[in-house]
Amino acid sequence: MNRYIVAITGASGVIYGVSLIKTLLKRGDEIHLVVSDPACLVMQQELGWTLDAPPQISLRHYFSADNLFLYNNADIAAGIASGSFITDGMIIIPCSMSTLASVAMGLSGNLIERAADVMLKEHRPLVIVPRETPLSSIHLRNMLTLSDMGVAVVPAMPAFYYDPESVEEMVAFVVGKVLDVMKIPHEEFRRYK
């Protein structure tokens, strides 16, 4: 069993994060989940989820699993904010441009940013799935900064060579690409032959 931190931020495409979490939980991995307040709003808009205050508690209803641990993004004293909390990596999916910029600049104003900063300083795998278009020069510079530090930048860009028949299949492709980068075996999509 592996241990991963997964963060969902307030960018469109929260379904990518939800799908990744479900896949990892099904594998039996231990997931430490942080969802930003803006991401909770996007979950309500895009998924129709009802999230009462505090929303992190309500998320348990949608992810009922013993191997899932939920955190408040304001709790910068949580265990995952420490380098002594050993994980196999962190994925921010989707990653807002605000979070991406904060991580690139080394800011630690909330738990997501601090956990990402820990991944960088401890040289552990960090994957960021930006979800924005078009990209400004600032966005691109921030992505290059992170890439130069060893962060895997996996934009949410589904492929079409395998003739996807549903949105779920296109989501699975992006999730599969994230799993590939993390070297996690999967069968999320049909590979190119």
Question: What are the pLDDT digits (tens) for 62-113?
Answer: 887 899 999 999 999 999 999 999 999 999 999 999 999 999 999 999 999 9
Q: Residue 7, Cβ neighbours under 10 Å: how many?
A: 28
Kind and range of the H or E run holding 77: none
3-state secondary structure of 71: strand
Go through the domains of the chain in sequence order and give each one's CATH number. 3-159 (3.40.50.1950)
Residues annotated within the binding site for dimethylallyl phosphate are 161, 177
pLDDT tens digits for 33-74?
999 999 999 999 999 998 877 777 788 888 878 999 999 999
Binding residues: 10-12, 36, 96-99, 131, 161, 177
Binding-site residues for FMN, in ranges, read 10-12, 36, 96-99, 131
